[in-house]
Amino acid sequence: MIEPTVPDVLAAVAATIERDIAPNVVADDDGYTASLCRTVVQMLRMARSRIEHEESALAEDNAELRELLATWASALPAEPRRTVEAALREKFAAPTTVGRLQDEAKSLRSALDTMLAALPDADHPARVAAREYLRRQLERQRPWLVDAFTGPRR
C-alpha cells in the first residue's frame, strides 16, 4: 500500500491552505481571495470524503436499484419493459471499480427514468418504492454531501 493515502494527501493540502496560506492572504477589498481559500479547502474535504465512501455507496445503490427494477419490470408496458430488462442484463467489466460502478449506476438510473415515465400515477407502488430508494441513496451519499462540510465555508 502506498503511504500516505490519497485521503491523507488531500487532508494535508487542506490543512496547509487553512493553517499557512489563508491566514497570510493579503486582505483584498472584498475578501475574495480568502473566500477562494475556504472554497478550495471545502472542495478538498469533499473529495477526501467521497474517495473514502463512494465505492461502497455506489455498490449498495446499484444492488438496491437493480432489485427494484427487477421487481417492477413486469408491471411496465412492452417497450419500457424491454428497456429496463436490457439494462438489467447489461454486463460491466471486472474488476469492480468506482468507474465501473458509476457506469452501471448511469445505466440503471436511465432504466429507472424509463420506468417512472411509463408509470405516471404518483401513487403507483413502483413509484413509491423508487422514492424510498432515492431517500436511501441520499442517506448513503451523506458523508460527502453533508459531513464533509466542516470548518469555515465561503
Higher confidence at residue 39 or residue 67? 67
Domain boundaries along the sequence of the chain:
6-147
| CA separation for the pair 115, 76 (Å, rounded) | 7
Q: Which of 119, 89, 115 minimizes the C-alpha distance to 104?
A: 89
Q: How many helices (H) and strands (E) does the chain have?
A: 5, 0
Mean local confidence (pLDDT), 6-25 = 90
Question: Given a cut of 90, is residue 30 above it in pLDDT?
Answer: no
Q: Residue 11's CB: how many other CB atoms inside 10 A?
A: 15
| CA separation for the pair 100, 93 (Å, rounded) | 7
Give percent of the chain with pLDDT exceeding 90: 55
| CA separation for the pair 129, 144 (Å, rounded) | 24
DSSP three-state, residue 101: helix
pLDDT digits (tens, 9 = 90+) for 82-131: 999 999 999 887 778 888 999 999 999 999 999 999 999 999 999 999 99
Higher confidence at residue 145 or residue 101? 101
Higher confidence at residue 46 or residue 121? 121
Cis check for the bond before 77: say yes or no (omega within 30 of 0).
no
Q: Give 21's DSSP letter.
A: I
pLDDT band (50, 70, 90) for residue 66 = very high
What pLDDT sits at residue 104?
A: 95
Q: Which of 102, 125, 123, 126 minimizes the C-alpha distance to 114?
A: 126
pTM: 0.78
What's the N-to-C CA distance of the chain in angstroms?
Answer: 35
Residue type, 114: T
Residue type, 88: L
Question: Given a cut of 90, is residue 3 above it in pLDDT?
Answer: no
What pLDDT sits at residue 111?
A: 98
Return mean pLDDT, the chain: 89
pLDDT band (50, 70, 90) for residue 80 = very high
